[in-house]
Homo-oligomer: A and B are copies of this chain.
């Protein structure tokens, strides 16, 4: 029996495009000899559909698409994922389902039982969990079909009180198939291989696992669909960050013709690089835009975003805007010019002095002789936002936000100033990782100017300002933030790791006080297990740690 895994890039709510892609893949796989073609979780509507699911018409579209796919499924079978109506009187209105379709007919429906409701996931918001489980039968083979999280009830700390495979195994299936929408975060590929391999070892069954690929606003799917032996050995690994389609031969209880291979993970920085480029590209493509604009300060964050945007969109589609103020140092403009020369993208120079002076003059009757403060600093950052947004509005460019995760964390940024933008490229990338990414981009020669990397970070909003005037060094800051944000450690635990008590308390206070700013931050491309945004929901007027 030949089974194809189709790892495709879907678009939430774009039924026309998703359905066409699925039907085309069925045809292609059939041409490659496949008898069964397997697609990802919720492939019909894209993942995450969020509150689109609350509209009955949206669910009708899903049903219509399933009918079109079934009609195209002649002399071949397929497995697709989509929301279906809960026929029961009680519970949520929908199920997260996998349909097994053979020769134009729906032969079985499998309902997801374990509904991730944590971090960026909200599945119990919409879906009633499945409670009865049955293997599907295809060409005389019993297959245990499950949906994503159904295999993730990790033994040491089970998040759910039951596991579908514990029931399905009683039917003596020969193969596990799991359809997933498993988002990227660095190192998650390794965890995935471990958990799925453990399932194979536990149930003594081979497995085919299909993930989706592509980015939906902030959530990036990395693909990397997998095949495992019945002893839990990795047999095959599909492309990362790319669409892919492969056909596997299953017979005599085994996946045939494959030998165990080692997973060779990219390092975190290579993975993040791939994810960010895909994230930018898909944001533009799926929102129907092609051109980007961003402010170039001569600093490392904007330089990195510009380089990533050039890679994702082509340098001809990227416009950098240099906006020196009276506090900008000469090298800021030189470094930014060097960058656009290296990248071959477009640029403008718009000095902001005239506008900033106008505001100072307009406000003079109110501010009188009060000393220069954060108010005047922010006026400069906000003048820059007006300039780049004017270009965005005039030419239909999308403004890229260049704030990094360390800044977002401690509120070191100006709302409606440098915190503006349609998508935050580095909002989940710590400053120390920004440096690593720049070194990575420069691995074959200078892309990011050396001086941009080596000079001390500065916002240049007052004379001789340095980030280190108001922030601890980024090495220490990032470690403290990581322990609290990603690892959920309390101040007490972080201090016990050897960090200075006053510093830890100061950093956590800065973090929590800045929540009101992050609420208005653009969506952030998620590359870590805990990004700011939908996956981290914090009270704003909360009094904890402030």
- Tell me if B386 and A386 are in contact (CB < 8 A): yes
In the complex, chain A residues 22-55 whose Cβ is within 8 Å of any chain B Cβ: 46, 48-52, 54-55
Question: Which of A170-178, A205-213, A533-541 interfaces with chain B?
Answer: A533-541
How far, in whole Å, are A538 and B50 apart by their CA atoms in the complex?
A: 6
- Tell me if B54 and A488 are in contact (CB < 8 A): yes
How far, in whole Å, are A334 and B117 apart by their CA atoms in the complex?
A: 53
- Tell me if A359 and B375 are in contact (CB < 8 A): no
How far, in whole Å, are A485 and B379 apart by their CA atoms in the complex?
A: 37
- Tell me if B358 and A354 are in contact (CB < 8 A): yes
Q: Which residue from B52, B54, B124, B420 sits with its C-beta under 8 Å from A542? A: B52
- Interchain residue pairs A-B with the least CB separation, the first 3: A13-B544, A57-B490, A14-B543
- Tell me if B544 and A12 are in contact (CB < 8 A): yes
How far, in whole Å, are A519 and B519 apart by their CA atoms in the complex?
A: 9
Question: Which of A84-92, A137-145, A189-197, A230-238 interfaces with chain B?
Answer: A84-92
Given contacts A12-B542, A12-B544, 12 further A-B contacts (CB under 8 A): A13-B539, A51-B538, A282-B541, A286-B543, A287-B541, A350-B362, A355-B355, A373-B393, A373-B394, A375-B390, A378-B393, A519-B522
- Tell me if B52 and A544 are in contact (CB < 8 A): yes
7 A/B residue pairs, CB under 8 Å, sorted by A: A49-B539, A58-B544, A91-B160, A118-B125, A355-B362, A375-B394, A519-B523
With a cutoff of 8 Å between Cβ atoms, the chain B residues found around residue A378 in the complex are 389-390, 393
Question: Which of A258-266, A306-314, A335-343, A363-371 interfaces with chain B?
Answer: A363-371
Q: Is A391 an interface residue (CB 8 A)?
A: yes
Q: Is A132 an interface residue (CB 8 A)?
A: no
Q: Which residue from B50, B283, B350 sits with its C-beta under 8 Å from A537? A: B50
Q: Which residue from B158, B367, B382, B523 sits with its C-beta under 8 Å from A89? A: B158
How near does chain B come to A286, taking the closest CB pair, in angstroms? 4
How near does chain B come to A155, taking the closest CB pair, in angstroms? 10
- Tell me if A539 and B50 are in contact (CB < 8 A): yes
In the complex, chain A residues 515-546 whose Cβ is within 8 Å of any chain B Cβ: 516, 519-523, 534, 536-545
How near does chain B come to A372, taking the closest CB pair, in angstroms? 10
Q: Is A416 an interface residue (CB 8 A)?
A: yes
- Tell me if A216 and B541 are in contact (CB < 8 A): yes
How near does chain B come to A352, taking the closest CB pair, in angstroms? 7
- Tell me if B11 and A158 are in contact (CB < 8 A): no
Q: Is A374 an interface residue (CB 8 A)?
A: yes
- Tell me if B363 and A359 are in contact (CB < 8 A): no
- Tell me if A160 and B90 are in contact (CB < 8 A): yes
- Tell me if B216 and A286 are in contact (CB < 8 A): no
How near does chain B come to A219, taking the closest CB pair, in angstroms? 10
Mask for A42-81, Cβ within 8 A of B = 1, else 0? 0000101111101111100100000000000000000000
Q: Which residue from B125, B283, B385, B516 sits with its C-beta under 8 Å from A541? A: B283
Q: Is A1 an interface residue (CB 8 A)?
A: no
How near does chain B come to A217, taking the closest CB pair, in angstroms? 4
- Tell me if A359 and B390 are in contact (CB < 8 A): yes
With a cutoff of 8 Å between Cβ atoms, the chain B residues found around residue A545 in the complex are 13
How far, in whole Å, are A519 and B128 apart by their CA atoms in the complex?
A: 28
How far, in whole Å, are A359 and B393 apart by their CA atoms in the complex?
A: 14
- Tell me if A56 and B490 are in contact (CB < 8 A): yes
With a cutoff of 8 Å between Cβ atoms, the chain B residues found around residue A124 in the complex are 117, 124
How far, in whole Å, are A536 and B118 apart by their CA atoms in the complex?
A: 17
How near does chain B come to A317, taking the closest CB pair, in angstroms? 17
Q: Is A269 an interface residue (CB 8 A)?
A: no
How far, in whole Å, are A534 and B14 apart by their CA atoms in the complex?
A: 24
Q: Is A387 an interface residue (CB 8 A)?
A: yes
Q: Is A159 an interface residue (CB 8 A)?
A: yes
How far, in whole Å, are A373 and B125 apart by their CA atoms in the complex?
A: 42
Q: Is A415 an interface residue (CB 8 A)?
A: yes
- Tell me if A52 and B394 are in contact (CB < 8 A): no
- Tell me if B159 and A92 are in contact (CB < 8 A): yes
How near does chain B come to A385, taking the closest CB pair, in angstroms? 6
How near does chain B come to A139, taking the closest CB pair, in angstroms? 36
Q: Which residue from B11, B90, B379, B386 sits with its C-beta under 8 Å from A543? A: B11
Q: Is A108 an interface residue (CB 8 A)?
A: no
Q: Which residue from B90, B216, B382 sits with its C-beta under 8 Å from A389? A: B382
- Tell me if B366 and A389 are in contact (CB < 8 A): no
Q: Is A122 an interface residue (CB 8 A)?
A: yes
Greatest chain B CB density within 10 A among A89, A376, A520 is at: A520
How far, in whole Å, are A106 and B538 apart by their CA atoms in the complex?
A: 30
How far, in whole Å, are A348 and B363 apart by their CA atoms in the complex?
A: 10
Q: Which residue from B13, B91, B350, B366 sits with its C-beta under 8 Å from A363? A: B350
